[in-house]
Structure 1
Amino acid sequence: MNSNGVSRRDLLRYMGVLGAATTITAGLGACGGGDSGSSGSGSKTIEATLAFTLSSGFDPMNASSAVATAVNQHIFEALVDLDPITRKPYPALAAALPTPGADPLTWTVTLREGAKFSDGTPVTAEDVVWSFQRVLDPANKALMAGFVTFLDKVTATDAKTVVFTLKTPFSLFPQRIAVIKIVPKAKTGDPAAAKAFDTTPIGSGPFTLVSANATAGVVLGANANYGGSRKALVEKITLRTTPDNTARLNDLQGGSSQAIEAVPYLDVSAVSGGKKVDEKQAFNHLFLMFNCAAEPFDDKRVRQALHYAIDTDKLIRTAVQGHATAATSYLDEGNAGYQKAATVYHYDPDKAKALLAAAGASNLSFELVTTDAAFIKDSAPVIIDAWKAIGVTATLNTNPSSAVYGTIVPGDGFRVLAGSGDPSTFGPDVDLLLRWFYTNQTWTRDRHRWAGTPAAAQCAKLIEDAAKSTGATQTGLWKQALDLVADEVPIYPVFHAKTITAFDPAKLKDFQGAATTGLYFLGTSRG
């Protein structure tokens, strides 16, 4: 446990890519994984290569690693799911979108007829209630709990009907419940069962988990008991996993994979032979995060100065070959809720120097911690050089994310981090994205330490007030929150990266790259 009472594992759950703990790795290995690198069976199999290795289990209450999140979209369903490409809500386990009651605190959902889990057992309203209750139970420390704080209770009125009672009105209810995937109570009802379920999950989605290996990858099979609208159009999906850029590109060019994610920025032009590149603006970003409880970073002028000192256009050209957009808001410009912030950090070294002088931060020197994501590592030297030009000295300390969030950031010596994050994998709405970095206690209390400040309290109130509002009032409150975090910058993007997927259109039908991490094959068949 750290000094704030949060365990290392809890911290890692929230970071986005869980560290490969020995117990998890052993459990995943037990699932199998022996054929994830084998050749497919013609038109019955899709083979693809992901950019991350499998580093967590699959229980959707807490799964947040890049691979598990992508896999879970294929094997689990929520009552309402978000299309992984368009991000629009659609009825999944529900027969229709939720129905509002006579008052704004009640919503009703009816399950689709004949819904079954992949083991053939029926999905019942009791399973739905349990899936929400286990997330809401504080003892479980569920990652998803922070996204459904508006819920008061969930009850089953019959075997197919569930009624949700809210604490306060929440206009985004129909799409927000997509974060809660429905699991069988019989398989997750006690700690021992839940532990086993984490490595051998059972869902109601169009695919099932056949095997999983921490290094070799994941194999999915078609779920014969699936009765929803997104039936599996292939018998098997093999997902190789490797962070090696060259290996992924070779898989595509050599024909062993029909799709790869995270095409290396330097190699986009090298994709050839009829293969297609699909580039989308994404929320995923390079951010700067400060220890706001430590001098001089408790003064927002110092934090602002380090942003103004960066020539973001040069950084984007140099580090990501132009495949990013300079941040003009916390949200990326492709987000439906985007509003330009009142403060935009254009390159202004003179202003940066003036802010440092006003804050009394002369001869500033600190360690810049970074994660080892490729575009973060490529960006760090450019950022350090920019700071050097305004008289600031930063030394570089690059580590895997597990070490950064598990040991370094919680430590007393932490001051500044350059990292990346993409909570839009859970949903693209403004409320969810603001909550992730600015009200979640793991971030606000244990990482950037902004919690407890008047600005943090004001931000939280704006987010809560917006959640209870609708229309122009809600949009206006979100604008105030976006302006506030742009001014305070406890954690804030420098640029929003673009996701680059490549695939063979001759071998995949109805496939698109996503604007988040992962590859998604719902509705995709072999060409």
Structure 2
Amino acid sequence: MSGSEDPNSIGRRSFLQRGAAVGTLAVLPTSLLAACGSGGETVGGTTAGGSGGAAVADAIGGFSHNFREMDPHVGVDVTTYTVGWHVHEGLMDLNPVTREVELGLAAADPEEVRENVWQVRLRDGATFHDGTPVRASDVVFSFERIRNPETASFFISYLDFIRSARAVDDTTVEFTLRQPFALFRNRLIFIRVVPEAIVARDARAMSTRPVGTGPYAFVELAANDHITLRRAARYSGPKRAPYGTITLRAMEDISARLAALRASEIGVMEDPADRDLDSLARQSGIRTTSEPGFNQTILMFNHARRPFDDKRVRQAIMYGLDREALVRSVYAGNGSVAESLIPSTYPGFARPSTVYTYDPERARALLAEAGHDGGLDFELMVNSLSYIGEQGPFIKEQLAAAGLNANLRMGDSSALFERVSAGEYGAFITVSDTSVFGQDPDLWLRYIYSGAFARQFLYWDTPQTREVLRLLDGALYETDEAKQQAAWARIQGIVAEEAVCPSLIHRSQPTAWRDSLAGFQPINTTGLYFLQAA
């Protein structure tokens, strides 16, 4: 299998359910439940006291999403990652606070023992949460499970550079690469290690009751309500678990999360409204931050459907958008106009020669060139998720000035993506954040512009598509950093010129939490993170 094949070689519906979840986070109605745990008195979203009189604090977070797949080899949505950061480990792990790749189960960085042959030694005393020791054979099993097509793992194509893996002994894993690969260390974060003995008995065990090696062990899932994790007694790694238990309460309604934080029913609120940040910051006992990151509004086009098969129409829509005004009005200044999929502060960014500014007259001229000199009516689907949905009326008004009549169809991402999956759409505004996958320009670009997403959601299959794939595959194994960056820059130039799934706005990730949640550190990506460095 080459790196240019569809991720997982899975069908459209399966990719919709798994691969697109991070890019389009559905928010479903839920109820609320207080945390389980040490039995102390709840104060400011934490619980004081604990068994044996030990000082234990229990963190309660207001989670803006419903709970989905927790199997780290199958799911890729925000639930998978939030739970996975705490419960599971790879040989290497991404720290979402620092954005650095750090040691997970590995005792040290991989060591090249022969050309294209690398060994990784497991840390001493590593155990699964059921008390069984972690063995190198569990790592090999986890790798083989990911690349088994029956698992339908999203990560299969991102580990294709590994030819084979074997257990040298109980504590050493050996990987043979197909050829030199500069991103090897980074990609090891995808091999989340699961216990072979449990998964071999029940392939779906990790989906509902995950067992890992991380600082927290899974306790329970109440569907549509809450997830509870407890500090793992046998954890032997470098991360620190500062809270006795973590409870994530599924709270779709942003007003309910806000009220719960103000009333000290939760200690941290994921994703407060941008317009509420100033008032929250003025309330005693509450802290706020907004971290610049990868989160972005994207505009998907169906390249196989008229008139969006004509790039002049796609370009006209981009020139018809006043994105600076959207940042001011909808985002309350908490964002920036995107020039590329990759934010300018992230590795791999290159400013394309085609940058879309607000220019209604140019938009009208492009429409006329495309045969729509009388203007154009079209349906624009808009994800109803909070700040995304709020943009709909503003965008409709902006486009009207350019001769574009956008008939809005609002809805949650699950319903709208059913139409996308069936090819029954023209244009769709939604949200994407692939930074949860790591600090990896190849993965960011490949996720959107190649494979299943490009062909099965964007219906983009042109000579430019194949050129992007050629450039991606060439850069993947390139050892000259300058040549690799040049390839990524060329890709960003192509997709900007073609207006392929343009990124509209990079939103800074807001978080609000109470002072009483001691030691909490916000992150600049989707989800909540409760760990601390040792």
TM-score by length of 2: 0.90
The match for 2:526 among 509, 517, 521 is: 517
For the Cα contact (< 8 Å) 2:216–2:230, is it kept in 1? yes
Which of the residues 184, 203, 215 maps onto 1:206? 215
Which residue number corresponds to residue 13 of structure 1? 18
Q: Deviations over 1:448-473 (max 9, x none)?
A: 011x3110111111111111113211
| Structure 2: distance between partners of 1:19 and 1:253 | 25
1:41 maps to which of 24, 30, 47: 47
> Which secondary structure does the structure 2 equivalent of 1:409 belong to?
helix
Matched, 1:268 2:256: no
1:100–1:381 distance in 2 versus 1, CA, 3 Å: farther
Number of equivalences:
509
Matched residue, 2:465: 456
Picking from 440, 448, 454, the partner of 1:444 is: 454
Opposite residue 11 of structure 1, the aligned amino acid is L
2:515 counterpart residue number: 505
Is the contact between residue 53 and residue 214 of structure 1 (CA under 8 Å) also seen in structure 2? no
CA displacement 1:109-158 (0-9 Å, x = unmatched): 11111211010101111110111111111222111223223222112121
Per-residue deviation, residues 320-351 of structure 1 (Å, max 9, x unmatched): 11111101122112313322222111111122
Stretches of structure 1 that go unaligned for 5 or more consecutive residues are: none
| Residue in 2 that maps onto 1:258 | 267
Residue number among 224, 227, 235 corresponding to 2:236 in the alignment:
227
Q: Secondary structure at the match of 2:422?
A: coil
For structure 1, which segment, 412-421 or 144-153, has the greater mean C-alpha deviation from structure 2 after superposition? 144-153
* Counterpart-to-counterpart distance in 2, 1:117 and 1:231: 17
Alpha-carbon distance between aligned partners in 2 of 1:20 and 1:194, rounded to the nearest angstrom: 26
User: Any residues of structure 2 matched to 1:489-504 within 5 Å, and which?
Assistant: 489-504=499-514
Partner amino acid for 2:431? S
Q: What amino acid is the match of 1:270?
A: S
For 1:88 and 1:385, the matched residues in 2 are separated by 42
How much does 1:239 deviate? 1.7
CA shift in 2, pair 1:523/1:474, >3 Å: same
Give the Å deviation of 1:9: 4.0
Relative distance call for 1:145 and 1:254 in structure 2 (3 A) is same
| Partner SS state of residue 335, structure 1 | coil
My pick for the range that moved more, 45-54 or 118-127, is 45-54
AA matched with 1:250: A
Residues 422-453 of structure 1: per-residue CA shift (max 9 Å, x gap):
11111132111111111131x11211011x31
Q: Secondary structure at the match of 1:118?
A: coil
**Cα deviation digits, residues 279-299 of structure 1 (max 9, x gap):** 111211111110111122112
Matches within 5 A, 1:137-156: 137-156=148-167
Shift of 1:101: 4.1
Contact 1:53 1:217 in 2 (8 A): no
Deviation track 1:59-91 (CA, whole Å, cap 9, x = no partner) reads: 001222223311110000000001111110111
The one-letter code sitting in structure 1 at the alignment partner of 2:103 is P
Q: Does 1:294 align with 2:305?
A: yes
- Checking the alignment, whether the CA contact within 8 Å between 1:76 and 1:181 is kept in structure 2 is yes
Between stretches 408-417 and 216-225, larger displacement belongs to 408-417
1:81 aligns with 2:87: no
1:110 equivalenced with 2:121 (yes/no): yes
* C-alpha deviation, 1:379, in angstroms: 0.9
Instruction: Supply the AA of the counterpart residue of 2:137.
Output: E
Give 1:241 shift.
2.1
For residue 366 of structure 1, give the secondary structure of its aligned residue in structure 2: strand
TM-score by length of 1: 0.91
**Rounded Cα–Cα distance in structure 2 between residues aligned with 1:364 and 1:180:** 48
Which amino acid letter does the alignment assign opposite residue 174 of structure 1? Answer: R
Once the two structures are superposed, the pairs formed by residues 174-185 of structure 1 within 5 Å of their partners are: 174-185=185-196
Distance 1:240 1:5, change over 3 A: closer
After superposition, the Cα gap between the structure-2 partners of 1:341 and 1:113, relative to the gap in structure 1 and judged at 3 Å, is same
The residue aligned with 1:50 is: 62
Deviation per CA, 1:265-292: give whole Å up to 9, x if none.
1211111113211111121111111011
Q: How does 1:37-436 map to 2 (within 5 A)?
A: 39=42, 40-42=46-48, 44-103=56-115, 105-189=116-200, 193-271=202-280, 272-362=283-373, 363-405=375-417, 407-436=418-447
Indicate yes or no: 2:478 matched with 1:473. Answer: no
Q: CA deviation at 1:516?
A: 0.5
The one-character-per-residue Cα deviations of 1:333-377 (angstroms, maximum 9, x if unpaired) are: 231332222211111112212222222234322211122211110
- 2:52 match: none
Q: Which runs of 4+ in 1 moved over 6 A?
A: 18-22
Distance 1:200 1:312 in 2: 43
| Cα separation, 2, equivalents of 1:126 and 1:431 | 29
Shift of the 184–418 alpha-carbon distance from structure 1 to 2, 3 Å rule, reads same
Contact preservation (8 Å) 1:36, 1:218: no
Identical aligned residues as a percent: 34
Supply the AA of the counterpart residue of 1:437. Answer: I
Looking at structure 1, the residues matched to 208 and 273 of structure 2 have their Cα atoms a distance apart, in angstroms, of: 31
Could you say what secondary structure the match of 1:478 adopts?
helix
TM-aligned CA deviation for residue 227 of structure 1? 0.5
SS in 1 for 2:18: helix
Greater shift, 313-322 or 500-509, is seen at: 500-509
Could you tell me how far apart the structure 2 residues matched to 1:10 and 1:481 are?
A: 24
| C-alpha distance in 1 between matches for 2:505 and 2:26 | 28
Matches of 2:177 and 2:263 in 1, distance apart?
53
Aligned to 2:58, the other structure's residue is in SS state: strand
Give the distance between the partners of 1:382 and 1:65, measured in 2 at CA. 29
Aligned partner of 1:208: which letter?
A
| Corresponding residue SS for 2:99 | coil
Post-superposition CA distance 1:357-415 (Å, at most 9, x none) = 2222343222111222111101111111121111111111112111122x211224311
* Deviation sequence 1:190-219 (CA, Å, 0-9, x none): 5xx121321011000000111112322111
- 1:472-527 CA distances to partner (integer Å, 9 max, x unpaired)? 11111111111111112221211111101112235412x221110111111289xx
**Which residue of 1 is the match for residue 6 of structure 2?**
none
Aligned CA distance change for structure 1 residues 169 and 295 (closer, same or farther; 3 Å):
farther
Residue range with higher mean Cα deviation, 323-332 or 144-153 = 144-153
SS in 1 for 2:296: strand
Cα deviations across residues 240-283 of structure 1 (Å, max 9, x unaligned)? 22122222222222222222111111211111113211111121
Matches of 2:352 and 2:112 in 1, distance apart?
Answer: 33
Q: CA deviation at 1:225?
A: 1.4
**Aligned AA for 1:496?**
H
Contact 2:94–2:189 (8 Å) recurs in 1:
yes
Q: Relative to structure 2, which stretch is displaced further, 329-338 or 112-121? A: 329-338
Compare 272-281 and 333-342 and name the one that shifted more: 333-342
Q: What secondary structure is seen at the aligned counterpart in 2 of 1:287?
A: strand
Report the equivalent of 2:493.
483
2:12/2:421 contact within 8 Å kept: no
Q: Which runs of 5+ in 2 are unaligned?
A: 1-8, 49-54
Separation (CA, whole Å) in 2 of partners of 1:21 and 1:368: 20
